[in-house]
Amino acid sequence: MKLDHGLPETPHIDIPGQAASRSDQPPDGWRLWWLAIRPKTLTISVAPVVAGTALAWADAGQMDPRPFIASLLGALAIQAGTNLHNDVGDALRGGDQPLRQGPPRVTALGWASPERVRRAALVSFALAALVGLYLVWLGGLPILGLGLASLVAGWAYSGGPKPIAYTPLGEVFVIAFFGIGAVGGTYFLQTGGLTGQSILAGIALGAIAAAVLLANNYRDMEPDRLAGRRTLAIRVGGEASKAVYALLMLAPLALLASPMGPSGGWLCLGAAPMALWLIRRFATEIRGPGFNAILASTARLQLLVAALMALGLML
């Protein structure tokens, strides 16, 4: 996905005009692929699994480490594959232009050929599928449906005739698959069912993951418009994007701390100072490379919220 990242998504050069010099000294080996999968926001895959497992432990009184580890590995593989597929897809569609302000994209900079990046994406998806087969053995047909939908959505995010990444639906995609699907699927694997609280937790954590994507797309509004994208940030405009970001950051804390939320969910309010600080930065920072730090910090906030929720459940 366009999540870096990000999910959830970090495009390409930090300062326009530096692509040539940086392309002269590309990373190699594992460093190249570590950069390509956009590690700073891979926590977007970790947080929902932690939250779903913690909820299941609180409700069932026990936790099976097998689906926890497998869910974590599968979620990371799907996100890595989505990010790699997006890397090559954007480059071939002309979406990664020199005006983009994010960290490097390996295909656009010529550090890896489209064929290599595409193969790496397929390897990641294949790994996710193998892990998924094990999870299907544990969880049955509902997990099969979720796994197949996740793989198709990962491809459709930046592939096909009308990629999700080029529409205003990217944030909805993130909430659905990196929130509700990830938390709910993890919870189901541990308990064999779903609860209203597991779905609510999925919406809350998915909303913060969507804020990561919104930060990315807000930063790149001008080059994305030139590339033919019509992201949510472009559709609603700069000022409205600030309000949407604030909503995506604060509504989850209110939901988790409400009577509908999990036991001990009030602890999630401990993340409010960081959320307010990021909202202020989003509203005042000039669009550009400075938003890369906002994007990464938003991903860290999601992990913090998941950890606080887990702590509240244990207490």
Instruction: Give the other-Cβ count within 10 Å of 213's Cβ.
Output: 33
Q: What is the mean pLDDT of residues 2-11?
A: 40
pLDDT higher at 162 or 284: 284
Query: 151: phi > 0 → left, psi -120 to 50 → alpha, else beta; which?
Result: alpha
pLDDT higher at 150 or 23: 150
Confidence check: pLDDT of 185 > 90: yes
* Amino acid (1-letter code) at residue 40: K
pLDDT on residue 310: 96
Distance CA 54, CA 25 (A): 44
pLDDT on residue 273: 98
Is 274 part of a structural domain of the chain?
A: yes
Is 150 part of a structural domain of the chain?
A: yes
Distance CA 132, CA 112 (A): 28
Are residues 52 and 198 in contact, defined by beta-carbon separation less than 8 angstroms? Answer: yes
Is 5 part of a structural domain of the chain?
A: no
pTM of the entire predicted model: 0.85
pLDDT tens readout for residues 106-161: 888 788 888 999 999 999 999 999 999 999 999 999 999 998 898 888 788 877 78
pLDDT higher at 27 or 216: 216
Q: Which two tokens stand for residue 22?
A: 């940086």
Strands, E assignment, the chain? none
Q: Which domain holds residue 146?
A: 19-314
Confidence check: pLDDT of 172 > 80: yes
pLDDT tens readout for residues 265-288: 999 999 999 999 999 999 999 998
Is 3 part of a structural domain of the chain?
A: no
Q: What is the mean pLDDT of residues 194-217?
A: 96
Q: How many domains does the chain have?
A: 1
Residue 182 to residues 38, 154, 200, 265, Cα–Cα distance (Å):
19, 13, 12, 19
The b/e string for 91-121 (b: 16+ C-beta within 10 A; e otherwise) is bebebbbeebbbbbbbbbbebbeeebbbebb
Q: What is the mean pLDDT of residues 55-61?
A: 94
Distance of CA 299 to the CA centre of its chain: 8
Is 222 part of a structural domain of the chain?
A: yes
Q: What is the mean pLDDT of residues 40-69?
A: 93
pLDDT on residue 167: 94
Is 281 part of a structural domain of the chain?
A: yes
Confidence check: pLDDT of 31 > 90: no
How does the average pLDDT of the chain come out, rounded?
87
% the chain with pLDDT above 90:
63
User: pLDDT band at residue 13, thresholds of 50, 70 and 90?
Assistant: very low
Distance CA 41, CA 299 (A): 6
Is 11 part of a structural domain of the chain?
A: no
Instruction: Give the other-Cβ count within 10 Å of 280's Cβ.
Output: 11
Query: 52: phi > 0 → left, psi -120 to 50 → alpha, else beta; which?
Result: alpha
pLDDT on residue 2: 44
Is 220 part of a structural domain of the chain?
A: yes
pLDDT on residue 1: 44
Confidence check: pLDDT of 14 > 50: no
Q: Which of 149, 128, 142 is nearest to 73 (CA)?
A: 128
